[in-house]
Amino acid sequence: MSRDYTVVIEGEGTSLSAWVPELPGCVAAGESRQEVLDLIRGAIALHVEQGQVTESTPAEVVSVRV
C-alpha cells in the first residue's frame, strides 16, 4: 500500500531538514536534498509501523503572482 505525505524541507546549502505536518515528531536532517528525502522516507515508514499516524490533513500548493 502506498500513501502520500506532505514533506516540508527547510534550510540551505548542506544543512537541510525535513518534517511531516501529519506526523508530529517525524523529522530528518541531511546534507543534500536527496539525502534528506531518503531519510524522511525512512522516518515516515517507522512512524507508520509504530502506529503514530494522525488523520490526513489535506494540503495544496497555491501559486501567487508577486
- Each residue's pLDDT tens digit, 18-36: 999 889 899 999 999 999 9
Does residue 24 belong to any structural domain of this protein? yes
Is residue 43 domain-resident? Answer: yes
Residue numbers of the domain that contains 20: 8-49
Q: In which residue are the cell numbers 500548493 written?
A: 61
The model's pTM is 0.80
pLDDT beneath 50: ranges in the chain: none
In 3D space, the residue among 41, 1, 5 whose CA is nearest the CA of residue 23 turns out to be 5
Question: Structural domain tally of the chain?
Answer: 1
